[in-house]
Structure 1
Amino acid sequence: MMNLTWDDPRKTENVTESGTDRCSGMNCSSTRYQSGITETTFSKTELAPDSRSRFAVSALDTAVNQSFLSAIDELTTPAVPATQTYTLIGAGDIASAANNSGAESTAKLLDAAVAADSNTIVFTAGDNVHPCGSASEYSTYYDPTWGRHKARTRPSPGNHDYETSGALGYFNYFCPNSANCSFPSGTKPPYYSYDLGNWHLISLNSEQINSSQLTWLQDDLAVHSDSCILAYWHRPRFTSGTGAGSQLDVQPFWDVLYAAKADVVVNGHEHSYERFAKMSASGSADPNGIRQFVVGTAGIVNVGFGSIMPNSEVRLANIQGVIKFSLHNEGYDWTFVPSTSTNLGDSGSDICNK
């Protein structure tokens, strides 16, 4: 906005000009604004972004004699900040020694996403390879499928990864050395975080819930209080699935994330797709709460649903696929992408809680 105020005791008709001849050769336009016979103020609010405007005042008497222009006031408006969309894609319960065709079908969905956006980040929601998460299973079943995108993958572990002591198959596969490591720190943390634009992403470990992890999570969220938050781990707090069911052990994650106004939680463990409405940490409907997705659909044989949990909005059984998020500065879009065109998907959009 530009505000001009002047004093003209003669109260003659005043003219305000924007972009006079004095800026000829500077690629500016000249526009005259008639302000009225007794006015001594002028405001212009609709100024184009990323531009320079010049304003001056002159007096015009009844004989149409115009005074020289006043000193020119100049205003440069800032450019509109560029917005960037980040693609995050993934699921849980991926490769299997029993039948790996599902992992290959969903790996092709990753291929397509990366072809469309070379900056795509892949996440995993645990149980990266069944049944034991061993080094040989990773090299034989995970690596030829989802391992095609290992360099861009930000994983989390599941209970089957811990079937190998200390989840060494998981940690050694994703971070064999500091120069070739899927974890942002270049080390082998059981939990970690990273940023994509205005979004803060958190990979948690539902197999080792302890005070150290919870303290780390609280501290991590405290220094990202203005960010949109998406967290992912393996075991879901809420599910209508008939597999392992709702996992009370992860309640502390929800308590901390809800207090920090987190936006999205993604889990696996149940071999089906389910989306919930926004909820409080106790599972009550809350328009300012967390939206949970259960996406254990990356390759393992699916299971169905039992009693439907409150706030469950979409359920897809007997389906394999991945969830793709488009993360914007102030919100997100989601799309569940099935591996076959005959299956139904799911999509929507929302804004961040902050």
Structure 2
Amino acid sequence: MALIWGLAPMLLSAALAAGSPGGAAPAVLIGAGDIADCAGSGDSRTLALVQRSAGTVFTLGDNAYPNGSRADFARCYEPTWGKVKNRTRPALGNHDYRSENGAPYFDYFGAAAGPRGKGYYSYDVGSWHVVVLNTNCGNVPGGCGQGSAQQRWLRADLAAAGKCTVAMAHHPQFSSATLHPPTKRTLPLVRTLYDAGTELLLAGHDHVYERFAPQTPTARPDPDRGIRQITVGTGGGAERHTFGPAAANSERRNSDTLGVLRLTLRPGSYRWDFLPVAGETFTDSGTGTCH
């Protein structure tokens, strides 16, 4: 993989395809959360990683600091991650709601952000299904609770998809970070994901990297049907966060390295790779199978 990483995107895709069953190229997702901040250059450093990889770019919320305003998107996000906007599928963070109840976010990303005002939607990449959730429960119409419009939509969407699935959201369900306690308001959504056999949940909000073993929504180990959560709040924006005691099932943690997560999605399996910015050495990688 180290040799492939240095190739141009077109050669990268061809090299991956050569190692795939039947020559079919796997789908690639690459991104992070907590991204653009005019007060620093971290977003430029993570953009360099994204630009070296083919595939769909994802964001995990808090796209433009500090307030998700039109000026924040124009001055901070557009000059950096805006360069890959044409292949980006975003998620909403709490900072994105600080201005005009999220209107600048929806105006900036347009149709790529899903139905205006909702902030939740889904799409397919290769043989996989991707659901993007709005975990800003006080802002999304109807909230995140059991029986909410979002929860009903999610249940129906997953049932219709019938594919290996990765979910993306801003707020993590599980966390060892000290600043933000693990959220409870999104538990009905995570239960819906679990009941449908979702493989992966990606989150931001905590400005750290943390990977969990597959587990139930209430943090019981479940290697057969559990959801593997990976927090990737390392896109470049704002300050780093710190860890307290390790939460149950936490397998890998880092609080001082900016970078992005690349998912390589094949029929029936996936691979994750955390890619650090230039000059850093922390990495994390592994593989898993669909339920």
TM-score, structure 1 as length reference: 0.71
2:199 and 2:24 map into 1 onto residues whose CA distance is 19
1:104 aligns with 2:44: yes
1:345 and 1:183 map into 2 onto residues whose CA distance is 30
Pick one of 25, 29, 50 that aligns with 1:84: 25
Q: Which amino acid aligns with 2:204?
A: G
More strand per residue: 1
Q: CA deviation at 1:133?
A: 0.1
Question: Within 5 Å, which residues of 2 pair with 1:268-279?
Answer: 268-279=204-215
Pick one of 187, 193, 203 that aligns with 2:132: 203
Aligned to 2:232: 295
Structure 2 alignment gaps of length 5 or more: 1-20
Question: Within 5 Å, which residues of 2 pair with 1:272-351?
Answer: 272-287=208-223, 288-300=225-237, 301-351=239-289
Pick one of 159, 177, 197 that aligns with 1:222: 159
Q: Deviations over 1:261-308 (max 9, x none)?
A: 000000000000000000011111001210000100001221110021
Q: Deviations over 1:128-154 (max 9, x none)?
A: 011100011101000011110001000
Q: Which amino acid aligns with 1:338?
A: P
Q: CA deviation at 1:166?
A: 1.9
1:253 and 1:346 map into 2 onto residues whose CA distance is 27
TM-score, structure 2 as length reference: 0.86
Aligned to 1:194: 123
- 1:172 partner SS: helix
**Does the 8 Å CA contact 1:84/1:329 hold for their aligned counterparts?**
no
2:270 and 2:40 map into 1 onto residues whose CA distance is 31
1:135 and 1:84 map into 2 onto residues whose CA distance is 37
Aligned to 2:10: none
Q: CA deviation at 1:189?
A: 4.4
Q: Which amino acid aligns with 2:253?
A: R
Q: Deviations over 1:232-267 (max 9, x none)?
A: 010001000112121111111111000000000000
Aligned to 1:69: none
**C-alpha RMSD of the superposition:** 1.5
Q: Deviations over 1:283-338 (max 9, x none)?
A: 11001210000100001221110021010000011110000000001110000001
Equivalent pairs counted in the alignment come to 261
Q: Deviations over 1:7-37 (max 9, x none)?
A: xxxxxxxxxxxxxxxxxxxxxxxxxxxxxxx
Q: Which amino acid aligns with 1:277?
A: A
Structure 1 alignment gaps of length 5 or more: 1-79, 176-180
Q: Which amino acid aligns with 1:345?
A: T
**Higher CA-based Rg:** 1
More helix per residue: 2
1:205 and 1:197 map into 2 onto residues whose CA distance is 23
Q: CA deviation at 1:341?
A: 3.8
2:181 and 2:80 map into 1 onto residues whose CA distance is 28
Q: Which amino acid aligns with 2:49?
A: L
Q: Which runs of 4+ in 1 moved over 6 A?
A: none
- 1:216 partner SS: helix
Q: Which amino acid aligns with 1:201?
A: V
1:206 and 1:340 map into 2 onto residues whose CA distance is 32
Q: Deviations over 1:147-193 (max 9, x none)?
A: 10001000000000000122011000001xxxxx32467x6641100
Q: Percent identity?
A: 39
**Does the 8 Å CA contact 1:183/1:189 hold for their aligned counterparts?**
no
1:327 and 1:264 map into 2 onto residues whose CA distance is 11
